[in-house]
Amino acid sequence: MTGEVYLDYDSSVYYHGIYWNSYDYVVRELNRRISGDHETPWTEHFRKTVGGRVFKKALILNCGNGWVERDLLQRGLIAEAVGVDYADSLLEEARAAAGDLPARYYQLDTNTAAFPEGDYDLVVNFAAAHHITYIDRVFRKLAELLPEDGYFVNYDYVGPHRNQYSTQQWLAALALNARLPAHMRQVMRYPYLLTMKLTDPSEAVHSELVISVMKRYFRIVDHKHMGGALGYLILTHNDRFWNAKPEEQAHWLKIIMDADADYLRRHPGSSMFDYILAQPDKHSLERTAQLEAWTREEETREATARRNNGLYYRQTLYAVVFYQLMSVVGMIKRRLLRHNS
């Protein structure tokens, strides 16, 4: 029984628009935050951590257009890949782009945890788990299907649920954004829960649980914070910054990413993106009473949210103030329109 999961949306959104890592400068900085070296991406850092091991068969969660497994195959990190995703159109793209590479694809709802084939020695979560509703069920299944010496590699958004940033983070991002020249500033809009539910309801549905639930079933081998509390907010979907002159971009990218690093140092719990390498803790799967309690907790959480119009938590203070303000502005606009017509 999967309950209500959020599948009815346009998956092509993931490959359009400008993200903070559309900038080379940001990619190099994220490399440094993971591997300690601007030139070493997570894949090569991962290779080093596992002592150059080549994985026989990797399961790629919510693989999208398949670029992650193509990269892993081409780098010789894995010998075979199985990609799963809900979106048919993206799976078609992945199949076409794979060509002769040993990659197979299946359409499924990850929340069912009914993964195909088997004999995996690696599971890859790249920007995938923050879309999972039944995170306990899925992570438990992954710990079951991996052998004791298998690995679970994660590169994911682990920030606030449905991007409901804390007031402290939001105010810090507003202040940094205000320092930018007007023509490069982000249009700062606090993510509106109802819009998120309509456009991509699985977005960050349980990003806030990814790390804690992973720790139930996995031993953490390597864990690095990539930050993003300020940099992601200011640079993502910021067309004005993207269209600025290269020398202006270079100047402000350094300032933004330095501020982002400083914020991360002062608030390590604020990291929005993490790299985590883990191995299954098989003992965790023997604690039957605990497993039953976690299943009940998950089912109750989802049933309660369904009754509550998809809401899981009370809104942040900033969201309450912001939404009230928006509704007053909307009311005034409607009155003015009525008055003028």
Please give the residue ranges that form the binding site for ligand SAM (CB under 6 A).
5, 7, 11, 14, 62-65, 67-68, 85-87, 90, 109-111, 126-128, 131, 202
* Smallest distance, ligand SAM to C-beta of residue 133, A: 7
The minimum distance between CB 128 and ligand SAM, in angstroms, equals 5
Map residue 189 onto helix, strand or coil: coil
Q: Decide whether 110 or 177 has the Cβ nearer to ligand SAM.
A: 110
Q: 23 and 249 in contact (C-beta within 8 Å)?
A: yes
**Measured between alpha carbons, how far is 144 from 87 in angstroms, rounded to an integer?**
25
C-alpha distances (whole Å) from 132 to each of 68, 125, 204, 231, 234 are 18, 11, 8, 25, 26
Smallest distance, ligand SAM to C-beta of residue 14, A: 4
Share in percent of the chain as helix, strand, coil (round to 5): 55, 15, 35
Work out how close the CB of 88 gets to ligand SAM at its nearest, in angstroms, rounded to a whole number: 9
| Smallest gap from residue 110 Cβ to ligand SAM (A) | 4
Residue 244, classed as helix, strand or coil, is coil
Please say whether the beta carbons of 163 and 208 come within 8 A. no
Tokens of 133: 């509703």
Q: Would you state the structure tokens that stand for residue 235, as one six-digit string?
A: 């640079």
The nearer residue to ligand SAM, 174 or 211, going by C-beta atoms, is 211
For residues 228 and 273, the answer to whether their CB atoms sit within 8 Å is yes
> Which residues are bridge partners to 219 per DSSP?
279
Nearer to ligand SAM, 27 or 285 (CB): 27
Residue nearest to ligand SAM (CB): 64
Q: What is the closest distance, in whole angstroms, from the C-beta atom of residue 130 to ligand SAM in the complex?
A: 8
Of 312 and 323, which CB lies nearer to ligand SAM in the complex structure? 312
Q: Which is nearer to ligand SAM, 3 or 268 (CB)?
A: 3
Comparison of 17 and 181: residue with beta carbon closer to ligand SAM = 17
8 Å CB contact between 301 and 312? yes
